[in-house]
Amino acid sequence: MTDRPLTTTDLIAFKPKEIAIFVDKNGNSSVAIRTNEKNLNKELLNSYGIITQKLGQNKWLLFSEPPSLIPNGRTKFSLGSIWPNTIGKITLGDFSGHIKVKDNGYAVEIPKTKLTGNVLPSLPLETVAALAFQPGNESGLSSLLNQIDLLLEPLKTITSEQLVNKIKENGAVILLTNNNFLIETSLESTFLFQTIQTAAAFQSPTVETMNLPDGSLADEIIVDPSKVDFGSVWIKGQEAKSVETPNGSLLALDGEKTDIIASDSSLLEQYLNKKTEKVSPTCGSKNNLVYLKPKELENTMFGEHNSITSPSLLQIALKFNEIAVDNNKIYLCY
């Protein structure tokens, strides 16, 4: 409990039938407990400076400051422990779900969403983050990860907004390693190749000096995508067009059903090889929509200017090696 030395050992002494721990958006925590009033050691609670509020018959809220996530100080209890492998219940925003014990961690139920398109395939081992966006329904994930602009930042291109719109319209699989990225979606061939060509042009502009009427000189910075030459890389019998930038290559693969933009040929090859595998993921299910390695993303996706900024959420995430989300559960894996 925030700023109070209340421990689970203290709570056990109150003979609880159920305990709920609340953490609000500011990171403040409080405890609700279901027990007979005679079991509450009010002298101990008062010595800790803990306020006791009765919520109903044998239901008590213990706090140092009223939690903002409980409207009018009221909450509901449910006996999650009667279900196999269920240890409790969690409330996230507008929904709540049971917490179940898994072999390598925990699973939290969330409202089930209808899958209309992409799910994550088998991923290269170097993957630290991956997201699968459903066509025309990106909002289902945006509530968890806010926006995908961060993943598109490596493109450094003025067409990135158009690319974001294409992803929202057609769906996509986006993955990151520590040094590279890959985007699989559906694009028109012309737009696909123009995207990497424009990105390369903006990263390698040319400078021309010109004479001004007053006799002074000025440098003109010129970005001309038409002057960027394409190369070819053959991967698994498919030709990917490539362009060179100061930060390395950008590749575009015009496939039969989907198209891929990648920043590394080895990552592209691994991804294509993995897509054909039918291996269950180490965390989550075969319908995963999100996959994260929190410890490797601490300084990127969890940074001050990025999507997950809550200190309490970060500390929880960093306790796990992997986090996955499918259309019905959040998985927290050791």
Is pLDDT above 50 for 148?
A: no
Confidence at residue 94, expressed as pLDDT on a 0 to 100 scale: 60
Q: Are 285 and 109 in contact (CB under 8 A)?
A: no
Lowest mean pLDDT among 136-140, 198-202, 324-328: 136-140
Query: pTM for the whole thing?
Result: 0.67
Confidence at residue 83, expressed as pLDDT on a 0 to 100 scale: 47
Confidence at residue 84, expressed as pLDDT on a 0 to 100 scale: 54
Lowest mean pLDDT among 16-20, 34-38, 269-273: 16-20
CA distance 221 to 164: 27
Confidence at residue 312, expressed as pLDDT on a 0 to 100 scale: 54
* Predicted confidence (pLDDT) per residue in 45-103, tens digit: 888 888 888 888 888 888 887 665 554 444 444 444 444 567 667 665 566 677 888 88
pLDDT band at 157 (very low <50, low <70, confident <90, very high): very low
What percentage of the chain has pLDDT greater than the value 90?
Answer: 13
What are the domain boundaries of the chain?
8-77, 129-197+247-333
Confidence at residue 160, expressed as pLDDT on a 0 to 100 scale: 64
Is pLDDT above 80 for 33?
A: yes
Confidence at residue 129, expressed as pLDDT on a 0 to 100 scale: 86
Higher pLDDT, 18 or 191: 191
Confidence at residue 58, expressed as pLDDT on a 0 to 100 scale: 86
CA distance 123 to 134: 18
* Predicted confidence (pLDDT) per residue in 221-258, tens digit: 888 888 888 999 999 889 999 998 887 889 999 988 89
3-state DSSP helix/strand/coil % of the chain, to nearest 5: 25, 30, 45
* DSSP class per residue in 207-249: EEEEE-TTS-EEEEEE--GGGPPPEEEEETTEEEEEEEETTEE
Confidence at residue 333, expressed as pLDDT on a 0 to 100 scale: 92
pLDDT band at 105 (very low <50, low <70, confident <90, very high): confident
Q: Is 127 exposed, middle or buried (0-12, 13-18, 19+ CB in 10 A)?
A: buried
Confidence at residue 270, expressed as pLDDT on a 0 to 100 scale: 93
Mean pLDDT value across residues 291-315: 62
pLDDT band at 269 (very low <50, low <70, confident <90, very high): very high
Higher pLDDT, 68 or 146: 68
Mean pLDDT value across residues 289-301: 77
Confidence at residue 271, expressed as pLDDT on a 0 to 100 scale: 93
Confidence at residue 272, expressed as pLDDT on a 0 to 100 scale: 92
pLDDT band at 111 (very low <50, low <70, confident <90, very high): confident
CA distance 35 to 9: 15
Name, in order, each residue with C-beta under 8 angstroms of 121's C-beta and a sequence gap of 6 or more. 173, 271, 274, 275, 277
pLDDT band at 295 (very low <50, low <70, confident <90, very high): confident
CA distance 208 to 159: 24
Confidence at residue 91, expressed as pLDDT on a 0 to 100 scale: 64
